[in-house]
Amino acid sequence: MNDEKLKSIIAEQPFPLVFATLSGAHLYGFPSPDSDFDVRGVHLLPLPEVVGLNEPHETIEVEKIEDGLELDLVTHDAKKFFNLMLKKNGYVLEQLFSPLVLKTSHEHKELKSIAKTCITRHHSHHYFGFAATEWKLFAKETPPRVKPLLYIFRVLLTGIYLMRTGDIEANLVKLNETFKLPYLPELIERKLTGAEKSVLPAADLDFYQGEYERLRVELQKAFEQSKLPETPGGKEQLNDLLIRLRLNKII
């Protein structure tokens, strides 16, 4: 039912979409009963808006509650998204490779193929930075919540997995099939069955800080040992795809 509502909202967007997927807690494998739906994607601006004097709608953001469904939708124009793919931005890659697809196209498939060549060992910096920021926020909370802690572990495991395999995996449940951290299933279960603001016993904090620091060391090792390239490829292919999209509107 939620998929149909989401697809209906997506169909109302002002510009054609190359793709739209679910991100956030649904992608990460631990949505609470009251989690909102984070929809991310790429839209295609028409040629007059790109070449004219008016400021183009590079990013569209929609926040709404409809029939009890809380939605946070963000899409970027293809040019902006493609440029982000050429930077150390793991977030856009997670959106692109999300298996929770609400809208797709032939160009979405082509884009995923190109994206594999954009991944570098320096994408680890995205995961280092994200985890450090989230940990600082988590450490200040009284009482500490389950949600940000899961986000921290998800980010670190995604980064380690990417450095080791070259593949994007953002689902914490699937990641833990590889990493087998014994405390994660209980944390995930708390999040799945509880509210967004469910909290942790303060006595557990020293243990989780130790795990955070240990996994940062593992990410550093994975970065140092990674066989991924130093610089991204795919720029010419992205440029060609963007021109075809603009001129032919082939979605």
pLDDT at 143: 86
* pLDDT band per the 50, 70, 90 thresholds, residue 55: confident
Supply the CATH number for residue 17's domain. Answer: 3.30.460.10
Dihedral of the CA atoms 224, 92, 184, 216 (nearest 10)? 30
Say whether pLDDT at 179 is over 60: yes
Q: Tell whether 113 and 237 lie within a shared domain.
A: yes
Q: Tell whether 155 and 79 lie within a shared domain.
A: no
19-33, 136-150, 169-183, 187-201: least confidently modelled range: 187-201
pLDDT at 243: 95
Q: Tell whether 143 and 168 lie within a shared domain.
A: yes
Average pLDDT over residues 57-82: 94
* pLDDT band per the 50, 70, 90 thresholds, residue 184: very high
> Taking all residues of the chain, what is their mean pLDDT, rounded to a whole number?
93
Overall size of the chain counted in residues = 251
The angle that helices 146-165 and 90-97 make with each other, rounded to 10 degrees, is 90
Number of domains observed in the structure of the chain: 2
pLDDT at 33: 85
Say whether pLDDT at 43 is over 80: yes
Phi and psi for 136 in degrees, rounded to 5? -60, -45
Say whether pLDDT at 196 is over 70: no
Average pLDDT over residues 201-230: 93
Residue range(s) defining the domain that contains residue 172: 121-225
Q: Tell whether 45 and 125 lie within a shared domain.
A: no
Q: Tell whether 106 and 33 lie within a shared domain.
A: yes
Q: Tell whether 216 and 236 lie within a shared domain.
A: no
pLDDT in tens, 155-166: 999 999 999 999
pTM of the entire predicted model: 0.93
Q: Tell whether 108 and 146 lie within a shared domain.
A: no
Q: Tell whether 10 and 105 lie within a shared domain.
A: yes
pLDDT at 212: 97
Q: Tell whether 11 and 89 lie within a shared domain.
A: yes
Residues 212-251: b if buried by 16+ CB within 10 A, e if exposed: beebbebbeebbeebebeeebebbebbeebbeebbeeeeb
Give CA 129 to chain center in angstroms: 15
52-56, 111-115, 242-246: least confidently modelled range: 52-56
Pairing of strands 37-43, 69-77: parallel
Average pLDDT over residues 179-185: 97
pLDDT in tens, 216-249: 999 999 999 999 999 999 999 999 999 999 988 6
* pLDDT band per the 50, 70, 90 thresholds, residue 53: confident
SS3 64: strand
1-5, 30-34, 106-110, 206-210: least confidently modelled range: 1-5
